[in-house]
Amino acid sequence: MKQNHTSAIDRFDLFTLVFDILISIVGGIIVNRLIPILKEKFIRAQLWGYDLNKRNSREVKIAESQGVIAAGIFLILMFIMIAIVFSEHLHPLSDFPHNKFIEYLAALLSICCMVLLGFADDVLDLRWSVKLMLPLIASLPLLLVYFANYHSTTIILPKPVRPLLGHQWNLGILYYVYMSMVSVFCTNAINILAGVNGLEVGQSIVIASSILMFNLIELQGSCSEEHLFSLYFMIPFIGCTFPILLRNWCPAQIFVGDTLCYFSGMTFAVVGILGHFSKTMLLFFIPQIANFLLSIPQLFHFIPCPRHRLPRLNPELNKLNPSEVEFKKKDLKPLGWLMLRFFSAIKFVRYREYKMHDNEVMIATTNFTIINTVLCWTGPLHEATLTRILLLIQIIFGTALPFFIRYYLVKFFYES
Ligand code: UD1
Ligand code: MG
């Protein structure tokens, strides 16, 4: 690892990367072996759920929170990696890079904290307001290290607005608010784009692969150290979560739990913030941003939000239909009505009105998630096909489009 910013990686970095890849493969194999052994224990500890979109859904108990196995092995791999990354500096005459070391420790502390809170959520089924607060607490170590090491809260403005607003802005404390919002968003955004087998972990792996590709491209650039830092996290992440995807794929043998959603979200937030590419990283979340915006009416209760918004199975066809929520029209506030009309006009939800026998007017609308939107557009789909389409959307809008924006469009907005 280098002390100063240099443009290329040296032989020691290359060795570290190869080592990282090797232990990630070993980590993946260990996770794969551990799942069958541990999942029975999880079920015995009452950590299980029904797979709601299967014909025999009430007959099979499926182990929940299996993401904690991936997270546990990931943390162990990262502890080993720290020793390797810093081994170059263990010589007594060497100048030990304490700042960098603290960055690694804070990153792991934040991730570790989030895994613990995610597991607590799985066990205790926490309220939404509490769920939102958890990442805020877990991101504190990260923000402190950012404060101590960088302290830079200036952003460069895009070219079109420069004549009006100037070349750059110092956001000050707002920059810290922005960073904690990134953590809150990343963790919860994955959790609310969920409900069909393979989706939570599938989207996490696509996002991690996008970050990995971005880091590899940027390794030649002037901030190679930050991108190396991110690579050291992303490679074991993919290694440890891949076996989870294999077993969570339809028909699921395990569920990932909120643990995995929070673990992935926090890992991405950590590398985005400490690697100084949080804006590019948010581009990899375009589908999640769309899903969050679409979810706002239900998350903030302008429209009733049921416990589960996942699609509903049509048992005869063994295909999924969009799930619906029903409520009295007179209970809908004007803002809720406006949101319903807006999203229905752009065809993201479908609603119908009908009368009860007591002449009460009712509204039935599809739930506000892009999972249901896809089903509105395509008609009934098999669960695995739906997951494939959603992952394809992730690859097109969360990988291809961001790279186009980052390496092509950005020229027109930032470079002179
Ligand atoms: C979030 C979503 C909720 C969605 C749920 C599915 C919001 C506000 N919340 O809630 O709409 O229904 O995730 O994960 O958008 N399950 C399946 N098949 C799957 C995955 C999950 O049937 O492929 C069911 C299982 O019964 C499992 C349960 O969902 O036990 C897990 O739900 P949980 O993660 O606790 O829900 P939330 O994250 O609170
Ligand atoms: Mg969940």
pLDDT tens-digit readout, 209-234: 999 999 999 998 888 899 999 999 99
Percent of the chain residues topping a pLDDT of 70: 98
Long-range contacts of residues 18-26, Cβ cutoff 8 Å, at least 24 apart: 19/81, 19/84, 20/81, 20/84, 20/231, 20/232, 20/235, 20/236, 21/235, 23/77, 23/80, 23/81, 23/236, 23/239, 24/77, 24/235, 24/236, 24/238, 24/239, 24/240, 25/239
User: What gap in Å lies between CA 57 and CA 59, rounded to an integer?
Assistant: 6
Stretch 401-405: mean pLDDT: 96
User: What gap in Å lies between CA 202 and CA 193, rounded to an integer?
Assistant: 11
Percent of the chain residues topping a pLDDT of 90: 79
Pull the structure tokens for residue 141. Answer: 């170590």
Residue 232's pLDDT is what?
Answer: 97
Which of 5-9, 41-45, 218-222 is predicted most confidently?
41-45
**Could you identify the residue written with the tokens 């810290």?**
176
Residue 6 has pLDDT above 70, yes or no: no
Answer yes or no: is the C-beta of 191 below 6 A from any ligand 1 atom.
Answer: yes
User: What gap in Å lies between CA 315 and CA 53, rounded to an integer?
Assistant: 9
User: What gap in Å lies between CA 187 and CA 131, rounded to an integer?
Assistant: 10
Q: How many CA atoms lie within 13 A of 230 on its CB side?
A: 31
Answer yes or no: is the C-beta of 403 below 6 A from any ligand 1 atom.
Answer: no
Answer yes or no: is the C-beta of 262 below 6 A from any ligand 1 atom.
Answer: no
Residue 68 has pLDDT above 70, yes or no: yes
Residue 371's pLDDT is what?
Answer: 98
Which ligand sits closest to the CA of 310? 1
Answer yes or no: is the C-beta of 265 below 6 A from any ligand 1 atom.
Answer: no
Residue 81 has pLDDT above 60, yes or no: yes
Residue 216's pLDDT is what?
Answer: 96
Pull the structure tokens for residue 297. Answer: 């009416």
Answer yes or no: is the C-beta of 50 below 6 A from any ligand 1 atom.
Answer: yes
Confidence of residue 416 (pLDDT cuts 50, 70, 90): low
Closest ligand 1 atom, residue 198 Cα? 23
Q: Which residue has the CA at smallest separation from atom 28 of ligand 1?
A: 49
Q: Compute the distance from residue 131 Cα to the ligand 2 centre, in Å.
A: 11
Residue 287's pLDDT is what?
Answer: 98
Q: What angle do CA 326, 327, 330 make, to 5 degrees?
A: 150
Answer yes or no: is the C-beta of 192 below 6 A from any ligand 1 atom.
Answer: yes
Residue 220 neighbours by CB under 8 Å, 6+ apart:
7, 8
Closest ligand 1 atom, residue 50 Cα? 26
Best CA proximity match to 84, nearest among 20, 175, 143 = 20
Q: For residues 325 and 306, is the Cβ–Cβ distance under 8 A?
A: yes
Q: For residues 81 and 20, is the Cβ–Cβ distance under 8 A?
A: yes
Q: Compute the distance from residue 196 Cα to the ligand 1 centre, in Å.
A: 8
Answer yes or no: is the C-beta of 64 below 6 A from any ligand 1 atom.
Answer: yes
CA separation (Å) from 381 to 325, 372, 375? 20, 11, 7
At 174, the amino acid letter reads L
Answer yes or no: is the C-beta of 103 below 6 A from any ligand 1 atom.
Answer: no
Residue 1's pLDDT is what?
Answer: 52
Q: Compute the distance from residue 338 Cα to the ligand 2 centre, in Å.
A: 28
Paired sense of beta strands 168-170 and 48-49, if any: unpaired
Q: pLDDT digit string (tens) for 103-155?
A: 999 999 999 999 999 999 999 988 888 888 889 989 999 999 988 888 788 88
Q: For residues 303 and 340, is the Cβ–Cβ distance under 8 A?
A: yes
Answer yes or no: is the C-beta of 386 below 6 A from any ligand 1 atom.
Answer: no
Instruction: Give φ, ψ of 312 to 5 degrees.
Output: -110, 140
Q: In sequence order, what E strands does 50-162 have?
A: 62-63, 154-156
Q: pLDDT digit string (tens) for 330-385?
A: 999 999 999 999 999 999 999 999 999 889 999 999 999 999 999 999 999 999 99
Residue 178's pLDDT is what?
Answer: 92
Q: For residues 383 and 320, is the Cβ–Cβ distance under 8 A?
A: yes
Q: For residues 355 and 347, is the Cβ–Cβ distance under 8 A?
A: no
One DSSP character per residue, 55-76 reads TTTTT--EE--THHHHHHHHHH
The overall average pLDDT reported for the chain is 93
Closest ligand 1 atom, residue 125 Cα? 35
**Could you identify the residue written with the tokens 């969360």?**
398
Element (H, E) at 238: helix 224-248
Which ligand sits closest to the CA of 131? 1
Confidence of residue 188 (pLDDT cuts 50, 70, 90): very high
In 3-state terms, what secondary structure has residue 367? coil
Confidence of residue 8 (pLDDT cuts 50, 70, 90): low
Q: For residues 388 and 320, is the Cβ–Cβ distance under 8 A?
A: no
In 3-state terms, what secondary structure has residue 156? strand
Element (H, E) at 321: strand 319-321
Domain ranges of the chain: 11-279, 285-416
Which ligand sits closest to the CA of 323? 1
